[in-house]
Amino acid sequence: MLSEIQINIISELDRLVKREYELIALSGILKELQALLQNSKPKKRRKIEFALQFLQKQNIEVVNEELLPNETIDEYILRIAKKTKFIVATNDANLRKKLRDANNSVIYLRQKSYLAVDGFID
């Protein structure tokens, strides 16, 4: 279930992705979440803790890909998505637009009740 939103992430992914898939997390994202966890307000802290617990519970593989010097998190995600053509899951509207402009598919939460796709999933 997604934090306070009643959604089963894995079931929703299975509904959208009609082929075998593997969930991964980028090492730079995990480092960013850990850093944010230290200085966040309680509501944001709960969301970050949920994300980290979800990753751990699902035994998600961590891909060791470091941030480049002076690279933002969005630039980091965009660089790796372009290189690998991974489907990215994010609710960040600006990042979603950048990914779509680069012809990458994006999975996002819609109406707080289900996952949707921008783009095509082969």
Predicted structure pTM score = 0.86
pLDDT band at 6 (very low <50, low <70, confident <90, very high): confident
Answer for the pair 82, 76: CB distance below 8 angstroms, yes or no. no
pLDDT digits (tens, 9 = 90+) for 62-82: 999 999 999 999 999 999 999
> What are the start-end ranges of the E strands in the chain?
24-26, 61-63, 88-89, 106-110, 114-118
Tally Cβ neighbours within 10 Å of residue 31. 13
Per-residue tokens: 9? 């992430």
* Mean confidence (pLDDT) of the chain: 90
**What percentage of the chain has pLDDT greater than the value 90?**
73
Whose CA is closest to 74, among 104, 41, 37, 51?
Answer: 104
Write down the number of H helices and E strands in the chain. Answer: 5, 5
What are the residue boundaries of the structural domains of the chain, listed by start?
Answer: 9-118
Under CATH, to which class is 9-118 assigned?
Answer: alpha beta
